[in-house]
Chain A
């Protein structure tokens, strides 16, 4: 067992872990933060994306010990209390989710995308940047709309009403 200390959603946590414990296992099984999902074993689907020191990582491909001393943000920590993060609101407004399983990873990736590339994103860029996140339900059409709108909202604008 090894001792690991990290900040998860603003709270400091320390745990004694089997060294092979993945970050995804740590947040799901030890922290009981089950919004971070696991959809594959090969770092392909992106359902497990969290932020480590402000950057998107696939939590299924990071050992918990690698997160020692780091700052982790999961989907549960994204909203400001009861107020949704603009990207969360945009996914709801633009019907960017169906079964909801890929959604936490998709939203965490989208927030990271805006943090890296700003809010003025064209469709081609968004589609390219989502290459590490697989959705089986939506056909991505409304996810693209949601990311476009969420990006604008993150930099000050309101989430625009989708065309009826």
Chain B
């Protein structure tokens, strides 16, 4: 291992600009002559719009335009789209309600976009928005997931029972037969609480139209600028792709919330031509809570069937997934194909049957949020497993060991073919780091101090590296999920790598450069990573689903291989040797069996000066591109163990220790990977203990600021004990599985399993706030008292 190659904890190249305040995020940009947009949003969860009178607003100082859904329609600007077609079990296509970027006749959630005011300053736009008179006919609203299907409220006329799809997966008959012969059945009602993603950089957009070239440029906070351009062009119809440039500069965290193509960037781009000025919008935090895609929000009934030896026979799950008021880009796939196929967990389960009803409500749309479906699956599986072990009186570690999949590849009954893993290895290592054997001693010691101590396991699996294009196409995806790369070698041997992945905290500028260093033997300072600009990078699918390593870096690897092949040809001419005798190692092209060699930079120069070969025999230059389409998902897995101590008098839960042992396959930079694990765990602990996006019965979002929505802070978390085991992934050239979402997937069930172990009572919902824990303790002690 070199100090800058694969496996080295290289300090990040991108940090210099971030620690000195010279990062360039979208809101940091100021385009010459820019005007400011302010969106008038619906204060009602559900209403018809009888009329909008903007005359007074238009007369106010600095106001350039007030635009509504009618103006969009006049310009034939299409609606926002959902990118994945789901079919119901009866074969019918999902019922996708129209989603105009500005409301057309109706608003369906608090924060829905009614009109945009564009003015010289933001203050003027905001003041003018207050002068717009909207005549609403307020309608009854439905916010609650479990009641959506039986409500009299109809969110979209196309779905009279508020059901976009009734989807299912697995073998119902086999599952029912297995349940019929089960010795023991564990049943749980599970609520997976709604979360707001909360990247600390809020969304922002600047649309700019250049009359001279008839082209648009959109600067935006996107995880996938090329997909944004494709959607804005092909579906929304702003401009053809060759007339639209999308730039996602430094982006301050995404977590899935910056995948979707939203109203605001659509309107800013379109409006920039109408007002003849660049149009800038930056979300404030409350707007972010109201309008960013939310995550999770499932209500499930789950059952696990066991035989007399504690072997799992079958699993049965029914989930109602709250889609919110509209289906955003991944809104339909997140609670279906990104969720249900992971319900086999790490376990050999012969029969599984899952039903998912996707329901509309008058709430913010839900979409991918760190883990996207997989945290919801892991929570169902790992709660069922833990409770089943407790019910049959078996140690939860032993119960898992007994049911783990041990031979690979393993075909689950629900689509997935796990290529490799060693779940026992992760478990044993986690047990050791967590000092499991002394847990009971610690529990007694806590009890002596009047505290309740509990331990909880989570042996999660996830599917990353999304995904083989043909496979996802057959499941309803609107696009392929490959990745592209281009490796441009300059005449002096320095290198630019253009990638379709997008970094918004993941450190690609460092890890991708490490790959180049490893393969081409150049110094890390000679490598620059270019991403996030559709005029520079030809195309790319972007970063989400922990795909940038497994898919994005595999594309770079392919392009590097082509560079080496071309370099061998150049070197053969330059050294007057046969191409088949040229070897490339440690940054040098050498002639086998001789002492003749040329460095990488020398060969690059020879490729560009082209003095030693004829243009008819070999093209000058050294630049290669590649598209990489994965052959399978990757399957990171691991074991997280949480140990809590609870004060029964206050219900306050303290995480005393948190151990994570993950198998991510080959690790490029362990420092960065551990950082991803830490951050994921924090978000998972946040879900389990603190965070909750709450709508009241009328559809008002009660938690729309950091005063109301509890973000994890430094004091809420412990330091983490992180370990790794490695089974290299056989499905891509680098052996990478992906690490970005593991913590957020694994942590919630580990925390809740620890709390329920401590209080001796399974009935507690997330977030397990002090009040909820205190009530649960009271309920366990004296069931009547807490009612």
Contact = CB atoms under 8 A, between A and B. Distances in A.
B707 A42 contact: yes
A91 B14 CA distance: 12
B202 interface: yes
A98 B707 contact: no
Interface stretch (B379-387, B632-640, B678-686): B678-686
Contacts of B286: 41
B21 A39 contact: no
A47 to B, nearest CB: 6
Given A39-B201, A126-B714, A144-B714, A95 B671 contact: yes
Interface in B361-408: none
Interface string A69-87: 0000011101100001000
Interface string B280-311: 00001110000000000000000000000000
A6 interface: no
Contact of B714 (A40, A75, A140): A140
A98 B707 CA distance: 25
B123 interface: yes
Interface stretch (B44-52, B250-258, B269-277): B250-258
Given A92-B19, A99-B504, A136 B683 contact: yes
Interface in A3-52: 18, 20, 28-29, 32-42, 44-45, 47
A129 B593 CA distance: 64
B448 interface: no
A138 B679 CA distance: 4
A160 interface: no
A136 to B, nearest CB: 5
Interface stretch (B466-474, B529-537, B715-723): B715-723
Contacts of B17: 100
The size class of the interface chain B forms with chain A is 35 or more
Nearest to B711: A134
Contact of B713 (A29, A32, A38, A134): A134
Given A41-B284, A139-B681, A92 B16 contact: yes
A137 B679 contact: yes
B136 interface: no
B32 to A, nearest CB: 13
Contacts of A28: 28
Contact of B123 (A20, A40, A44, A143): A20
Nearest to B17: A100
Given A37-B25, A97-B18, A131-B715, A141 B678 contact: yes
A20 B504 CA distance: 33
Given A99-B251, A137-B679, A139-B681, A42 B200 contact: no
A33 B680 CA distance: 31
Contacts of A133: 713-714
A63 to B, nearest CB: 14
Given A20-B123, A40-B706, A99 B252 contact: yes
Contacts of A18: 123
A138 B719 CA distance: 11
A96 to B, nearest CB: 9
Contacts of A130: 713-715
B33 to A, nearest CB: 15
Interface string B232-263: 00000000000000000011110100000000
A40 B201 CA distance: 9
B15 interface: yes
A131 B15 CA distance: 23
Contacts of B28: 28, 34
Contacts of A84: 19-20
Contacts of A100: 14-15, 17-19, 23, 250, 252, 505
Contacts of B215: none
B679 to A, nearest CB: 5
Given A35-B22, A99-B201, A92 B705 contact: no
25 contacts: A34-B28, A35-B23, A36-B21, A37-B200, A40-B706, A41-B285, A42-B705, A45-B200, A47-B200, A74-B21, A75-B20, A75-B21, A97-B15, A98-B505, A99-B250, A100-B14, A101-B200, A103-B18, A104-B18, A127-B714, A134-B200, A134-B706, A136-B711, A140-B717, A164-B9
7 nearest A-B residue pairs (beta carbon): A35-B21, A100-B18, A101-B252, A139-B682, A99-B505, A139-B678, A75-B21
Given A74-B21, A75-B19, A98-B675, 18 more contacts: A34-B25, A34-B27, A35-B23, A39-B285, A76-B21, A98-B253, A99-B252, A100-B14, A101-B25, A101-B200, A126-B714, A131-B713, A134-B200, A134-B713, A135-B714, A139-B679, A139-B720, A162-B9
